[in-house]
Amino acid sequence: METIRVHDKVFKEYLSADLIQQRVSELAAQINTDYINKRPLFLAILNGSFMFAADLFRQVSLDAEISFIKIASYKGTRSSGQVMTAIGMDQDLHGREVIVVEDIVDTGKTLHHFLPSLRQQEPASIRIATFLHKPEATNFSVPLDYVGFSIPNKFVVGYGLDYDGLGRNYGALYQLV
Ligand code: IMP
């Protein structure tokens, strides 16, 4: 079993690069079917989703657009609590078929707080594609439409995901030993 060291921690291979590519192809095929005759706008959330977004988008055979955004959080009014806003959103989402692309839905907090600001722009639809989901960790409800892999609640790196900045550059996914 291949292991890697990232900073002070050791990770073992959990999903091979081949298995990941196979699953990404399946998700792309599903999207190609679901959005036939439509022109979806992929909104990939940086940094973690860049690799998944690139591999997925490469296999989309529709007229499709992609934009990359970062999510920043700030404290909203007392009633709305925490608000997540997008940095770099230069697209008008009104009437668009939006597919949000995430690396991982862990607690679900990021998307849960970010989706309302997307909905405010009145897109025709919003679906979420996430490479990974940790169901045991998720305590904010988020509707997930395309899930690459559901994984146990253990820290992972690789395929775009990092541990303190490092580890994004592997084609496979590694789990903390
Ligand atoms: P949330 O808890 O669903 O809001 O997840 C927020 C972000 O935490 C994700 O987009 C990831 O960037 C990061 N994250 C959560 N779990 C992991 C992990 O196991 N490895 C690397 N990053 C993670």
**Is residue 18 flagged as an active site residue?**
no
Specify the DSSP class assigned to residue 167: -
Ordered structural domains, the chain, with CATH:
18-151 (3.40.50.2020)
Q: How many CB atoms lie within 10 A of CB 171?
A: 15
Whether the ω angle into residue 153 lies within 30 degrees of 0, i.e. cis, is no
Distance 34 CA to ligand 1 centre (A): 27
Ligand 1 atom with the shortest distance to the CA of 105: 3
3-class SS of residue 31: helix
52 vs 42: CA distance, rounded Å? 12
pTM above 0.75, yes or no: yes
Q: Which residues pair with residue 104 across a beta bridge?
A: 132
Contact 15, 149 (CB under 8 A): yes
- CA-nearest residue for atom 2, ligand 1, is 107
Most ligand 1 atoms within 8 A of CB, residue of 109, 161, 173 to mutate: 161
pLDDT grade for 76, boundaries at 50, 70 and 90: low
The answer to whether residue 31 scores a pLDDT higher than 70 is yes
pLDDT grade for 163, boundaries at 50, 70 and 90: very high
pLDDT of residue 158: 98
Host H or E run for residue 72 = strand 65-75
pLDDT in tens, 51-68: 999 999 999 999 999 999
pLDDT grade for 75, boundaries at 50, 70 and 90: confident
pLDDT in tens, 80-108: 567 788 898 888 999 999 999 999 999 99
Catalytic site residue from 8, 63, 92, 106? 106
pLDDT (average), residues 4-29: 98
Contact 131, 103 (CB under 8 A): yes
Distance 143 CA to ligand 1 centre (A): 17
85 vs 64: CA distance, rounded Å? 23
pLDDT of residue 77: 62
143 vs 137: CA distance, rounded Å? 15
Q: Which residue has the higher pLDDT, 78 or 9?
A: 9
136 vs 134: CA distance, rounded Å? 6
Answer positive or negative: Cα dihedral of 47, 118, 128, 140.
Answer: positive
Distance 54 CA to ligand 1 centre (A): 19
